[in-house]
Amino acid sequence: MEIEMVVEIPRGARNKYEMDHGLGRIRLDRMLFTSTQYPCDYGFIPGTLAEDGEPLDAMALLEEPTFPGCQVTIRTLGVFWMHDERGADAKVLGVPARDPRYEAVRDLDDVPAYVRAEIGHFFDIYKSLEPGKSSDVRGWQDRTVADQEISQSAGRARTAASHPSEPT
């Protein structure tokens, strides 16, 4: 599946940027408490709503880091699962959809095992020094599961948009 993602955090960053969806701006949330860096460009898929109530997370393997706010068309490869203090947390992995350097990368098995392990290790430890935060990695699933998660998250977003919650 080809899908658009918005980069919040470029590969190699320790700053955790997040989109403020109300303002339509990227803001600095915090600097990671560990000395680790994001192993790939990281952001979200617009028009989705994951189980944690935020847009579905996405990661892109790119030759060079981009910048916060950059939109990238990716071809999905798989999904990484973890649990944190907010519950289940899916992270879709993709590559640039029309980049000839990634033409042969079509499935999760085409991503080197070391790269997958590095991503898993990052999410296992990136919150370990942060008070009140935790992560429990669950592992990888293939492109079919990633595409199903995107579809389900898009459905949740459509349902939320058609049934806005009442003000309290």
Which residues form the catalytic set? Answer: 89
* 54 appears as a binding residue in the annotation: no
Residue spans of beta strands (DSSP E) within the chain: 2-9, 15-20, 25-31, 41-44, 57-60, 71-84, 87-96, 135-142
* 29 appears as a binding residue in the annotation: no
Amino acid letter for position 13: A
* 17 appears as a binding residue in the annotation: no
* 103 appears as a binding residue in the annotation: no
* 30 appears as a binding residue in the annotation: yes
* 20 appears as a binding residue in the annotation: no
Provide CB contacts within 8 A for 68, sequence distance 6+: 7, 8, 9, 10, 17, 26
User: What secondary structure letter does DSSP report for 100?
Assistant: G
Closest CA to 95 of 74, 109, 110, 79: 74
42's enclosing H/E stretch is: strand 41-44
* 136 appears as a binding residue in the annotation: no
Residues annotated as binding site?
A: 8, 16, 30, 42, 52, 57, 84, 89, 126
Which residues carry a binding-site annotation for Mg(2+)? 8, 52, 57, 84, 89
**Which residues sit in the known binding site for substrate?**
16, 30, 42, 126
